[in-house]
């Protein structure tokens, strides 16, 4: 995996050494020698990750990191602080400023490269979600997602550890702000992930009864665990396990003995990222739903029907089962708009759509075709049965006035319905729609408020 790496350090020899090592691993490297230059390079070159020194004149690394994370355009950009500072307080300060990791020089090359690749891989997943969200925004479907600014996120944390004293320590450190559940077996861990929907999983790689790495691999293969952050605990110096964990998609790690403040800081970072990713995924799902849904009525729209009707016809032909197509129109709907206004017309359309939804089956496809026209596609249904459903809906609409929000409080409306059935081999969506449309026109010519089926 390659990536664009920005190296920031005020000492030329440090920059050149790190640049050479990264280039040898086929990373694309750019450099900056101050905080202000780094911020400008980020704006200009859009790196995939920043390796940032702390002790720099003018603006130190902590301030640079804060500015990166407070900018909605760069808040998702991974930042690794690579510094000579080695005190726990320094590490915590870096993490609290928004850094994704804090590595103390001299840094083991293999560990650094594994961490860079891991963070870049996770960023690419977020970039895909952000790109889809931007598409939804450009179409006017979505508002911008919230940024990574939640300072005190909390959540449900699953701790997988078989040492009781460690479990007690984790619970004391993380509660009551978080809900903490602890298990000590492979099977219990899988059950909890499937059933309890954790926001973060902490896995000890020093488990005595089973292999923690194998558990991490299994968790990543579960649909329920694919997007849950995993933080592993490793013994100091156990680089092999740490590298393997990062390669299989673990999000973060802590080295024993664990500093309590560092634990809390890393937990907050991962929960913050989880909230942001969840929001992006929800927005992506919302944009998909909005693209195929009529916003006024909540039914599927014409675009969705057009894309699925040919498939439904082909399935009907392949299975030798019938398919019925209903197209319906509210009689004299123009007079409703002209007399009461378009807002009341919208109320009538919404009510009619809800009655359609209440009168069709789960396998049926109900759509707003346009204006006051609606369609229902009924798989595994012959014209006779579809006509009975249509007649039931017509009578219900005729018998029950539509409530409206101004005088006279309710309106009497009627509907006309045209029906056509699939004609077997060679039939197409255009032909089916044309036959149903002709039946609807006939219903209107013959006086409206009736159901007409097209000739077989």
- The DSSP-derived string for 77-118 is S-EEEEES---HHHHHHHHHTT-SEEEESSPPHHHHHHHHHH
What's the mean pLDDT in 160-164?
94
Distance (Å) of CA 387 to CA 394, 444, 445: 10, 16, 18
> Is 148 a residue whose pLDDT tops 80?
no
Per-residue model confidence (pLDDT) at position 196 = 82
Residues 252 and 319 placed together within one structural domain of the fold: no
What's the mean pLDDT in 249-262?
92
Residues 135 and 191 placed together within one structural domain of the fold: yes
Residues 169 and 36 placed together within one structural domain of the fold: no
Residues 226 and 313 placed together within one structural domain of the fold: no
pTM of the model: 0.68
Per-residue model confidence (pLDDT) at position 140 = 53
CATH number at residue 336: 3.30.70.270
User: What is the separation, in whole angstroms, between the first and last Cα of the chain?
Assistant: 61
Cα–Cα distance between 198 and 220 in angstroms, integer? 13
Query: pLDDT grade, residue 304 (50/70/90)?
Result: confident
Per-residue model confidence (pLDDT) at position 150 = 58
Residues 382 and 277 placed together within one structural domain of the fold: no
Per-residue model confidence (pLDDT) at position 389 = 94
Per-residue model confidence (pLDDT) at position 398 = 95
Q: Report the largest interatomic distance among the alpha carbons of the chain, rounded to a whole angstrom.
A: 90
Query: pLDDT grade, residue 310 (50/70/90)?
Result: confident
Cα–Cα distance between 353 and 267 in angstroms, integer? 47
Kindly give, in sequence order, each residue whose CB lies less than 8 Å from that of residue 383, ignoring residues fewer than 6 positions away. 322, 324, 419, 420, 421, 453, 454, 456
> Is 121 a residue whose pLDDT tops 60?
yes
Cα–Cα distance between 444 and 446 in angstroms, integer? 5
Of 107, 135, 155, which one is at a domain's C-terminal end? 107
Query: pLDDT grade, residue 402 (50/70/90)?
Result: very high
Q: What's the domain count of the chain? A: 3
Per-residue model confidence (pLDDT) at position 163 = 92
Residues 202 and 322 placed together within one structural domain of the fold: no
In a domain, 115, yes or no: no
Per-residue model confidence (pLDDT) at position 132 = 62
Residues 134 and 274 placed together within one structural domain of the fold: yes
Residues 321 and 438 placed together within one structural domain of the fold: yes
Query: pLDDT grade, residue 323 (50/70/90)?
Result: very high
**pLDDT single digits (tens) 181-193:** 999 999 999 999 9
> Is 135 a residue whose pLDDT tops 70?
no
Of 65, 83, 107, which one is at a domain's C-terminal end? 107
Lowest mean pLDDT among 143-152, 262-271, 302-311, 415-424: 143-152
In a domain, 131, yes or no: yes
The CA-CA-CA angle for residues 128, 133, 42, to 5°, reads 65
Residues 135 and 51 placed together within one structural domain of the fold: no
In a domain, 68, yes or no: yes
**pLDDT single digits (tens) 45-94:** 999 999 999 999 999 999 999 999 999 889 889 999 999 888 889 999 99
Lowest mean pLDDT among 276-290, 322-336, 343-357: 276-290
In a domain, 25, yes or no: yes
Per-residue model confidence (pLDDT) at position 314 = 87
In a domain, 114, yes or no: no
Residues 135 and 101 placed together within one structural domain of the fold: no
In a domain, 50, yes or no: yes
Mean pLDDT score of the chain = 90
Tokens linked to 153: 């996120």
In a domain, 116, yes or no: no
Count Cβ atoms below 10 Å from residue 354 Cβ, excluding itself: 13
Cα–Cα distance between 147 and 150 in angstroms, integer? 8
> Is 151 a residue whose pLDDT tops 80?
no
In a domain, 219, yes or no: yes
Residues 150 and 70 placed together within one structural domain of the fold: no
What's the mean pLDDT in 312-321?
87
Per-residue model confidence (pLDDT) at position 86 = 85
Of 286, 313, 344, which one is at a domain's C-terminal end? 286
Query: pLDDT grade, residue 306 (50/70/90)?
Result: confident
Cα–Cα distance between 221 and 431 in angstroms, integer? 46
What's the mean pLDDT in 426-443?
92
- 122 by DSSP, 3-state: which? helix
Residues 428 and 311 placed together within one structural domain of the fold: yes
* DSSP secondary structure letter of residue 178: S
Lowest mean pLDDT among 33-42, 126-135, 272-281, 359-368: 126-135
What's the mean pLDDT in 33-37?
96
Give the residue carrying structure tokens 């596609």.
Answer: 377
Per-residue model confidence (pLDDT) at position 427 = 83
What's the mean pLDDT in 330-344?
95
161, 262, 351, 372: the active-site residue: 372
> Is 248 a residue whose pLDDT tops 80?
yes
Quick check: is 372 catalytic? yes
* Domain encompassing residue 201: 121-286
> Is 381 a residue whose pLDDT tops 60?
yes
CATH number at residue 8: 3.40.50.2300
What's the mean pLDDT in 401-405?
94
Q: Minimal CA–CA distance to 454: which of 280, 327, 288?
A: 327
């Amino acid at each position: 995996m390659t990536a664009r790496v920005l190296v920031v350090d005020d000492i030329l020899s440090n920059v050149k050494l790190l640049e050479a090592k990264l280039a040898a691993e086929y990373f694309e490297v750019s450099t900056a020698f101050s905080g202000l230059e780094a911020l400008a390079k980020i704006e200009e070159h859009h790196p995939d990750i920043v390796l940032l020194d702390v002790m720099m004149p003018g603006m130190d690394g902590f301030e640079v990191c804060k500015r990166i994370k407070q900018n909605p355009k760069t808040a998702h950009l991974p930042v690794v602080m690579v510094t000579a500072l080695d005190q726990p307080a320094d590490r915590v300060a870096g993490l609290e400023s928004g850094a994704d990791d804090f590595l103390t020089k001299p840094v083991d090359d293999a560990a650094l490269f594994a961490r860079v690749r891991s963070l870049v891989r996770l960023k690419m997943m977020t970039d895909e979600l952000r790109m889809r969200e931007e598409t939804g925004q450009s179409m006017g479907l979505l508002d911008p997602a919230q940024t990574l600014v939640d300072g005190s996120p909390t959540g449900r944390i699953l701790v997988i550890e078989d040492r009781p004293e460690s479990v007690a320590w984790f619970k004391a450190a993380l509660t009551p702000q978080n809900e903490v559940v602890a298990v000590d077996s492979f099977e219990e861990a899988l059950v909890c992930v499937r059933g309890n929907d954790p926001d973060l999983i902490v896995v000890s790689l020093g488990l005595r009864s089973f292999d923690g790495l194998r558990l991490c691999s299994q968790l990543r293969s579960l649909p329920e665990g694919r997007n849950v952050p995993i933080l592993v605990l490793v013994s100091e110096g156990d680089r092999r396990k740490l590298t393997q964990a990062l390669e299989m998609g673990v999000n973060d790690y802590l080295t024993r003995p664990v500093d309590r403040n560092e634990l809390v800081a890393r937990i907050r970072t991962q929960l913050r990222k989880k909230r942001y990713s969840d929001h992006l995924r929800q927005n992506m799902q919302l944009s998909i739903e909005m693209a195929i849904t009529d916003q006024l009525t909540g039914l599927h729209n014409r675009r969705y029907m057009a894309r699925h009707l040919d498939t439904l016809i082909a399935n009907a032909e392949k299975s030798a089962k019938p398919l019925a197509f209903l197209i319906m129109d509210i009689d004299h709907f123009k007079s409703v708009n002209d007399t009461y206004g378009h807002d009341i017309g919208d109320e009538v359309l919404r009510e009619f759509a809800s009655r359609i939804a209440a009168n069709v089956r789960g396998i049926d496809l109900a759509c707003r075709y346009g204006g006051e026209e609606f369609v229902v596609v009924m798989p595994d249904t012959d014209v006779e049965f579809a006509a009975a459903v249509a007649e039931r809906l017509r009578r219900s609409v005729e018998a029950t006035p539509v409530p409206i929000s101004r005088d006279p409080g309710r309106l009497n409306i009627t509907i006309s319905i045209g029906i056509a059935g699939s004609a077997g081999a060679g039939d197409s969506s255009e032909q089916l729609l044309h036959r149903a449309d002709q039946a609807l026109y006939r219903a209107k010519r013959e006086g409206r408020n009736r159901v007409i089926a097209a000739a077989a």
